Amino acid sequence: MLFDEYATEHLADGAVVLRGAAEPVATDLLREISSIIDQSPLRTVMTPMGKPMSVEMTNCGAVGWVSDSRGYRYEHLDPITGLPWPPMPARFSSLAGSLAEDAGYRGFRPDTCLINRYSTGSKMGLHQDSDERDLTQPIVSISLGLPINFKFGGTKRTDPTISVKLRHGDVVVFGGAARLAFHGVGLLHRGTHPLTKEFRFNLTYRVT
Ligand code: MD3
Ligand code: FE
């Protein structure tokens, strides 16, 4: 464990919340995020159904997640700049590896990190993350700024969901049976956070 002590909460089979685990490095992470955004700007993407997502996003790492009328996929080049995505900062990847290890997953080496920015009224509907080839690898998520209600269900869309509030610095690691669970994010309510103002940022580290 790299940082101070923190509480570990069991969320579901394969999913664990590390409460406030990223709080000690939040300002460093936000500085890195702002440098990534300077190189590959936040953008609104369209779902394959032609609806704009309410969350703005960008990526860093060898590949980045994109969505447009042709579907969801990972791309080596940022479609806005035509350039490779900004490299993943070394401290980003080592942090994710260390957090995954704390949750019981060894050797997590993410090749991409999706940066989502939520503003008042943003939400994310229930979905599965299944665009990656190696579903034995976990996903590490870091929440920064304003809190949201995270919804977590089962492997069928109609399975019941539980709700858990994710706050600044909280980390969730999803592996095993949780890797293909349906999940979503409730409305971001108006508010202000000393470090992120009116926003919530989420970092999602994945092995594609
Ligand atoms: C559970 N993002 O970008 S992170 C996404 O807060 C996404 O921005 C949300 O879902 C956000 O795809 C939730 C937590 C998360 C990420 C991936 C998962 C939960 C997951 C994959 C499988 C199960
Ligand atoms: Fe997701």
The model's pLDDT over 50-62, given as tens digits with 9 standing for 90+, comes to: 999 999 999 999 9
- CA-nearest of 187, 167, 196, 201 to 120 is 187
CB of 140 closer than 6 angstroms to any ligand 1 atom? no
Tokens at 78, concatenated: 């940022």
CB of 56 closer than 6 angstroms to any ligand 1 atom? no
For the chain, what's the residue count?
208
Compute the distance between CA of residue 118 and CA of residue 46 in angstroms, rounded to an integer. Answer: 16
CB of 206 closer than 6 angstroms to any ligand 1 atom? no
Ligand 1: which of 165, 204, 208 to mutate, judged by most atoms within 8 Å of the beta carbon? 204
Per-residue confidence band for 27, with pLDDT thresholds at 50, 70 and 90? very high
Compute the distance between CA of residue 154 and CA of residue 167 in angstroms, rounded to an integer. Answer: 23
Predicted local confidence at residue 5, as pLDDT: 86
Closest Cα to atom 19 of ligand 1: 183
Q: Which atom of ligand 1 is nearest to the CA of 178?
A: 23
Which is more confident, 2 or 121? 121
Terminal-residue alpha carbon distance, the chain: 25
CA distances, 119 to each of 102, 163, 188, 198, 201 (Å): 30, 20, 6, 6, 9
- CA-nearest of 139, 147, 83, 137 to 114 is 139
Predicted local confidence at residue 144, as pLDDT: 98
Question: Does pTM top 0.95 for this prediction?
Answer: yes
Predicted local confidence at residue 2, as pLDDT: 56
